[in-house]
């Protein structure tokens, strides 16, 4: 007898997951297939095809934490003999990434519970526990039922209109993700915060992030871009990461492990993005790819890019999980050992990447080479000041020695990038934000020729 779970998308019953032995299938309901404005569960499982056998298993697996320790802990908590995605989501699927809720067959989301207030002391205690054991994701005493992808320790809460924190226990969607950084990598929480806010300063679309204190415990609190409040109700917006969209298992998130590269990412974006959003999505993707090179963001793999679905409209999601290793590693480690998660113009190694690789990457992305190079110039030129500003703004989190390490690392990395791009001329401050999100290119030399400062706005060809 098959085992079944119901799949809901923003409160609408979309279909059923069915497990027969080790095989997983997903079948849309006829009613959901006929909804004009409903998004497909995945690009890899289009709505016009009723049943999907191959893509369902990796898709639901990617909803869960990457950490095997977290999965094992959840399996033990709920008495599951094996930590399978199907078995774990039966218990932890009420608040997943995107608009998805996965519930026992016959369970209606409105009947599955609401949210419980969480005190500052409880949040502080959970942060301490998570720092001791980064597999301790859930507020077990509050019956938390969220599932998030990724490797590092985190948990999800809902912030009310009054600013109070609640633990969703079913019906209510979480609105914020609490992160403590990567275990074994000191100051990675601060580095992630600085990187994300720096990226936003440099013009990238990035999820909002801030530091919050609970007693003596700090957390990086990231606003979920897959949630929106309308008429006092939190709605779930559907999103999926690139592994899910391509029907890949999490083991293939790095290009070197068989996962997608920049060209595949760009081709998918072009194939699924709504025509009115294509230029912006291409621009956003180009900025993200160059920023991860400029900042030495070495874990920008397929699970750290996502698509945001709203009815028939699909766009590239804001960036998230950005981390500059230039802030954490010694400069010679960044220069000589760091490797990108996706090849840039055919090259992983930072030490080997030259201007020609960036120009090849432009071809992969489908944008003008000069535009992509100009974006890299602008980002590298502004990188140090942006990092310095963020460090200064978060001195409650970042001590003086760490602040100096961050700024020095950013300066060394920016110098390496500018040297690679032959940007040896004088620099100038941007004259201010462009009304059309253009890029200010400071004065520099290119091939021995002085290029005056200018705005550049044309991303595609």
pLDDT digits (tens, 9 = 90+) for 139-194: 454 344 455 555 577 889 999 889 999 988 766 789 999 999 887 788 999 999 99
Residue 29 lies in a domain: yes
Is 195 in the same domain as 100?
no
CA–CA gap between residue 403 and residue 327 (Å, rounded): 9
Could you tell me if residue 180 is inside a domain? yes
216 and 250 assigned to the same domain:
no
- 284, 143: one domain: no
Total tally of structural domains belonging to the chain? 3
Domain hosting residue 46, numbered range: 3-104
318-339 pLDDT, tens per residue? 999 999 999 999 999 999 999 9
Kindly state whether residues 97 and 166 are assigned to the same domain: no
Output DSSP code: residue 239.
Answer: E
Quick one: CA torsion of 211, 213, 219, 224, rounded to 10 degrees?
A: -60
Which two tokens mark 329? 């590693």
Q: Closest Cα to residue 226, out of 96, 116, 106?
A: 96
- Is the distance from CB of 372 to CB of 290 less than 8 angstroms? yes
Q: CA 226, 232, 234: angle at the middle one, nearest 5?
A: 20
pLDDT tens per residue, range 195-232: 999 999 999 999 999 999 999 999 999 999 999 988 77
| H or E stretch at 101 | strand 100-104
At residue 23, the pLDDT reads 96
pLDDT the model gives residue 342: 98
Two tokens, residue 318: 């804001």
461 domain-assigned: no
Q: Are residues 342 and 394 in the same domain?
A: yes
152 and 278 in a common domain: no
Name the domain boundary from 193, 223, 253: 223
Residue 69: inside a domain: yes
User: How far is CA 137 from its chain centroid?
Assistant: 18
How far apart are the C-alpha atoms of 283 and 320, rounded to whole Å?
17
Residue with more model confidence, 102 or 69: 102
Query: Residue 323 maps to which CATH number?
Result: 1.10.1070
Contact in structure between 57 and 84 (CB atoms under 8 Å): no
Cα gap 171→337, rounded to integer Å: 46
Residue 429 within any structural domain of the chain: no
Q: Are 102 and 60 in contact (CB under 8 A)?
A: yes
344 near 262, Cβ under 8 Å?
yes
CA separation for the pair 128, 219 (Å, rounded): 10
Both 396 and 286 in one domain: the answer is yes
Q: How many residues in total does the chain contain? A: 461
Query: In sequence order, what DSSP letters do the residues of 434-459 get, joined into one string?
Result: -TT--EEE--EEETTEEE--EEE---
Domain match, 148 and 89 both: no
Q: Are residues 49 and 69 in the same domain?
A: yes
8 Å CB contact between 95 and 173: yes
End position of a domain, from candidates 104, 123, 139: 104
SS3 156: strand
For 366-375, how does the pLDDT look when each residue is reduced to its tens digit (9 = 90+)? 999 999 999 9
| 121 lies in the same domain as 252 | no
pLDDT digit string, tens, across residues 260-288: 999 999 999 999 998 899 999 999 999 99
Q: Are residues 201 and 290 in the same domain?
A: no
378 & 267 share domain: yes
Q: By C-alpha distance, which of 417, 401, 389, 430 is closest to 297?
A: 417
- Please provide the DSSP assignment of 348-393 as one string: EEGGG--HHHHHHHHHHHTB-HHHHHHHHHHHHHHHHHHHHHHHHH
What tokens appear for 219 in the block? 């957390």
What tens digit of pLDDT does each residue of 399-457 get? 999 999 999 999 999 999 999 997 433 334 444 444 454 555 555 545 545 455 665 55
Of 104, 130, 157, the last residue of a domain is 104
This prediction has a pTM of: 0.87
User: How many Å separate Cα 181 from the centre of its chain?
Assistant: 14
Put residue 345 in one of left, alpha, beta given phi > 0 → left and psi -120 to 50 → alpha.
left
């Amino acid at each position: 007898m098959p085992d079944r779970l119901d799949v809901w998308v923003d409160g609408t019953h979309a279909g059923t997951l069915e497990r027969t032995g080790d095989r997983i299938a997903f079948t849309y309901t006829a009613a959901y297939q006929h909804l004009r404005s409903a998004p497909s569960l995945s690009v890899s499982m289009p709505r016009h095809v009723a049943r999907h056998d191959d893509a369902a298993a990796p898709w639901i697996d990617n909803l869960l934490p990457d950490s095997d320790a977290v999965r094992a802990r959840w399996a033990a908590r709920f008495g599951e003999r094996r930590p399978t995605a199907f078995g774990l989501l039966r218990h932890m699927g009420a608040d997943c990434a995107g608009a998805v809720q996965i519930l026992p067959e016959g369970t209606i989301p409105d009947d599955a519970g609401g949210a419980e207030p969480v005190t500052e002391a409880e949040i502080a205690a959970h942060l301490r526990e998570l720092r001791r054991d980064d597999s301790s994701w859930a507020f077990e005493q509050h019956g938390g039922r969220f599932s998030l992808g990724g490797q590092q320790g985190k948990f999800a809460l809902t912030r009310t209109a009054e600013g109070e924190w609640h633990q969703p226990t079913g019906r209510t969607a979480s609105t914020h993700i609490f992160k403590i950084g990567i275990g074994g990598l000191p100051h990675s929480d601060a580095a992630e915060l600085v990187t994300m806010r720096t990226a936003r300063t440099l013009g990238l679309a990035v999820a909002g992030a801030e530091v919050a204190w609970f007693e003596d415990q700090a957390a990086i609190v990231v606003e979920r871009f897959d949630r929106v409040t309308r008429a006092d109700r939190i709605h779930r917006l559907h999103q999926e990461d690139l592994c899910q969209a391509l029907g890949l298992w999490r083991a293939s998130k790095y290009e070197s492990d068989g996962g997608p590269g920049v060209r595949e990412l760009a081709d998918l974006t072009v194939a699924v993005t709504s025509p009115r959003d294509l230029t912006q999505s291409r621009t956003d993707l180009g900025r993200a790819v160059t920023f991860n090179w400029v900042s030495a963001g070495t874990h920008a793999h397929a699970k750290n890019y996502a698509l945001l679905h709203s009815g028939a409209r699909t766009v590239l999601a804001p960036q998230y999980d950005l981390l500059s290793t230039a802030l954490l590693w010694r400069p010679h480690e960044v220069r000589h050992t760091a490797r990108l998660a996706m090849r840039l113009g055919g090259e992983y190694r930072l030490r080997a990447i030259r201007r020609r690789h960036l120009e090849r990457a432009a071809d992969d992305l489908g944008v003008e080479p000069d535009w992509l190079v100009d974006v890299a110039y602008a980002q590298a030129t502004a990188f140090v000041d942006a990092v310095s500003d963020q460090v200064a703004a978060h001195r409650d989190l970042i001590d003086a020695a760490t602040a100096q390490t961050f700024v020095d690392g950013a300066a060394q990395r920016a110098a390496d990038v500018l040297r690679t791009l032959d940007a040896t001329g004088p620099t100038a401050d941007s004259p201010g934000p462009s009304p059309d999100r253009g890029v200010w290119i400071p004065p520099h030399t290119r091939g021995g020729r002085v290029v005056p400062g200018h705005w550049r706005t044309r991303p595609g060809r």
